Amino acid sequence: MKYVSSPQFATVVSNEELYAETWICWLDAPSIAGQAQPGQFVMVSCGDDTILRRPLAVHQVNTESGCFALLFKLVGKGTRRLAELKTGQSVNLLGPMGNSYKFVPGSKNILLIAGGLGIAPIRFLAQRALETGKSVILLQGAPDADCLYPSALLPRNLKCHNTTEDGSEGSQCLVTAILHEYLGWADQLFACGPENMYHPIALQNNRLFRVKPFSISLEVRMGCGFGACYGCSIKTRHGMRKVCQDGPVFDYYEITWDKTG
Least distance to ligand FES, CB of residue 219, Å: 13
Least distance to ligand FES, CB of residue 52, Å: 9
Could you say which of 83, 147, 224, 234 contacts ligand FES (CB under 6 A)?
224
Could you say which of 232, 234, 249, 255 contacts ligand FES (CB under 6 A)?
232
Number of residues located near ligand FES, criterion CB under 6 A: 12
Binding positions for ligand FES, 192-221, rule CB under 6 A:
none
H, E, C per residue of the chain: CCCCCCCEEEEEEEEEEEECCEEEEEEECHHHHHHCCCCCEEEECCCCCCCCCEEEEEEEEECCCCEEEEEEECCCHHHHHHHCCCCCCEEEEEEEECCCCCCCCCCCEEEEEEEHHHHHHHHHHHHHHHHCCCEEEEEEEECCHHHCCCHHHCCCCCEEEEEECCCCCCEECCHHHHCHHHHCCCCEEEEEECHHHHHHHHHHCCHHHHHCCEEEEECCCCCCCCCCCCCCEEEECCEEEEHHHHCCEEEHHHECCCCCC
Nearer to ligand FES, 133 or 261 (CB): 261
Could you say which of 66, 155, 213, 223 contacts ligand FES (CB under 6 A)?
223
Could you say which of 227, 253, 257, 260 contacts ligand FES (CB under 6 A)?
227
Nearer to ligand FES, 66 or 227 (CB): 227
Q: Using CB under 6 A, list all residues that contact ligand FES.
A: 222-225, 227-232, 242, 244
